Amino acid sequence: MTITKEALEIRLQNNGILTTACKVPLKDRHDLSVLYTPGVAEPCKIIKENKDLSFDYTCRGNMVAIISDGTRVLGLGDIGPEAGLPVMEGKAVLFKTFGDVDAIPLCLDTKDPDKFIETVRLLQPSFAGINLEDISSPKCYDIECKLKEICDIPVFHDDQHGTAIALMSAVIGALRFVKKDLKTAKVVVNGCGAAGSAIGRLFVNMGAENVIMVDRFGALYDGIDVPLDRIQDYLKTVTNKNKVKGNLADIAKGADVLVGVSAPHVFTKEIIASMNKDAIVFGMANPVPETTYEDAIAAGARVAGTGRSDAPNQVNNVTVFPGVFRGALDVRAKAITEDMKIAAVMAIADLIDEKDLRADYVVPDAFDPRVAPAVAAAVARVAIETGVARINVDPEVVRANTMKRVGR
């Protein structure tokens, strides 16, 4: 049976792949009295006096909402909330499996950003975090930005930040392997959508000083006369300091790192061959990348990777969001900050000792049991240090508890 047929069959047989479960037994009248009326009134009265106790006495403390409007699902585009539901359901399974985070998929039947924002705001009392998913750009920026302003729980758009963190952890490993410095490396990011823009911002925030963004209009630079969204408008001021102009083939010449979040097959062998010695190439287009791993290596890249699981150096968001939310929830963080994202990058990258790095092993595998605990501990530590956490929990306790939670 093919993957596509099995994907349909398993969901049809099970009426989806997600369910709810009770944490404690309900087998007799006593249990009924404790779990529902009259016993349920007691936590209600306690929470009424202190709303934060809802994190302790209800499922809220370990519950994340995965929220989408279905306007940009995978590479399928605007397919609507119902058709987007399988992705959100699958994401909930990953949250639980890799981070023991309970998650509920919610697909909203609106394309109006204001309605979307207001709906999420109204849902906030039931959740400890919000994971935004598969929302088209540029409205995804405004939705996330406004929700971060009005919510006192973490709001995280995984298509932007999860992708950026996963990619950056791989780039850090690759740069260590080829003995190059992030600060001075020439970095080219092809694609200025939600993921590409987040990657560009993270490169800059982590100290890269020679980053050039490329899109259909060519290289992005301060002064370019094309319509830009507000994130692209910001990126033009902090990247491409020399205002280099040209298309992808022009800009990629002499590059040390080439990252694609764009379209299939656009990284030709000529483009890769024109890069600097010991070139690093990551093609992240999904499901068909800008280049295959094999083609990138054959064209002269020293290190290559994609988002696919059938080739080395897979860049996968599942190394990111379960651990990020696990750490944030464990210290009841009010937000997920840029410093917490950078901490996640380094936690993943540091799992591979420099002596163990290889051209085909610069980023940990998605099933590496160390990943989620390391990310959770790093995120928790920064949340505490920067005052974002509501409670203090020793990050090493967070790490140990995460290992127990996920059985790894």
Q: How many CA atoms lie within 13 A of 154 on its CB side?
A: 37
Task: List for the chain the helix, strand, coil content (%; round to 5).
Answer: 50, 10, 40
DSSP secondary structure string, 232-254? HHHHHHHS-TT-----HHHHTTT
Q: Tell me 276's DSSP state.
A: P
Asked if 378 and 327 count as a contact pair (C-beta separation under 8 A), the reply is yes
Contacts of 337 (CB under 8 A, 6+ apart): 382, 383, 386, 388
Contacts of 99 (CB under 8 A, 6+ apart): 321, 322, 323, 325, 326, 372, 376, 402, 405, 406
Catalytic residue annotation: 36, 91
Instruction: Report the candidate in 261, 265, 272 with the shortest Cα–Cα distance to residue 303.
Output: 272
Q: What ranges in 239-337 are assigned the alpha helix state H?
A: 248-251, 269-273, 293-298, 321-330
Q: What is the edge-to-edge ordering of all strands in the sheet holding 218-219?
A: 218-219, 211-215, 187-190, 257-260, 280-283, 303-306
- N-terminal to C-terminal alpha carbon distance within the chain: 30
Number of Cβ atoms within 10 Å of the Cβ of 176: 18
Which tokens sit at 388? 């974002």
